[in-house]
């Protein structure tokens, strides 16, 4: 896959016309560019509001459809915190999400170098992990 991880604020028109077997329509490129542009884990509604700057006629339903297509083709990741709207993350590398309860900001948290899940979880023998979703909440210290 073309690595989108390190592209900062791409223009929708610079994104490929196909990604992971998904035809990238104008709307899908717009939505993806928004998610890659400001990596603050926006909700569908946030994406919708931002998309309206360039595409005033885009509907919330279209945004939802685009997000669903991007998620099912593993181009972006859907992040769920209990009872809250889903959020979207363009970081496809293994990572967890930490939500600062005070600001509501969601941070990407990576594993310490060399640490594997098997090192700190009592998994049944032979377990193969295919999907990682760890969401943490708390406060960030001031030090
Ligand atoms: Zn993330």
Query: Residue ranges per domain, the chain?
Result: 12-88, 93-138
Centre of ligand 1 to C-alpha 79, Å, is 7
Q: Mean pLDDT, to the nearest integer, of 108-134?
A: 89
Centre of ligand 1 to C-alpha 85, Å, is 15
Confidence at residue 3, expressed as pLDDT on a 0 to 100 scale: 62
pLDDT in tens, 89-99: 999 888 999 99
Does residue 134 register a pLDDT over 80?
Answer: yes
Q: C-alpha angle 92/60/49, rounded to 5°?
A: 75
Confidence at residue 1, expressed as pLDDT on a 0 to 100 scale: 46
**Residue 72 phi, psi dihedral angles, 5° rounding:** -70, -20
Two tokens, residue 41: 């884990």
Centre of ligand 1 to C-alpha 32, Å, is 14
Please state which CATH number belongs to domain 12-88.
1.10.10.10
Instruction: Decide if 39 contacts 7 (C-beta within 8 A).
Output: no
Q: Mean pLDDT, to the nearest integer, of 62-86?
A: 94
Confidence at residue 118, expressed as pLDDT on a 0 to 100 scale: 84
Q: Mean pLDDT, to the nearest integer, of 68-77?
A: 96
Instruction: Decide if 67 contacts 60 (C-beta within 8 A).
Output: no
User: For residue 136, what is the enclosing H or E element?
Assistant: strand 135-138
Instruction: Decide if 85 contacts 78 (C-beta within 8 A).
Output: no
Centre of ligand 1 to C-alpha 23, Å, is 24
Does residue 64 register a pLDDT over 50?
Answer: yes
């Amino acid at each position: 896959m073309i690595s989108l991880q390190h592209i900062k604020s791409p223009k929708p028109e610079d994104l490929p016309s196909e990604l992971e077997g998904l035809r990238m329509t104008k709307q899908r490129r717009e939505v993806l560019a928004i998610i890659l542009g400001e990596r603050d884990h926006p909700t569908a509604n946030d994406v919708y509001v931002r998309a309206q700057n360039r595409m005033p006629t885009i509907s919330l339903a279209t945004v939802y459809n685009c997000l669903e297509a991007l998620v099912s083709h593993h181009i972006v990741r859907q992040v769920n915190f209990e009872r809250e709207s889903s959020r979207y993350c363009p970081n496809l590398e293994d990572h967890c999400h930490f939500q600062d309860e005070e600001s509501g900001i969601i941070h990407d948290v990576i594993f310490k170098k060399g640490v594997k899940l098997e090192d700190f979880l009592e998994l049944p023998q032979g377990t193969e992990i295919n999907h990682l979703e760890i969401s943490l909440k708390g406060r960030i210290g001031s030090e």
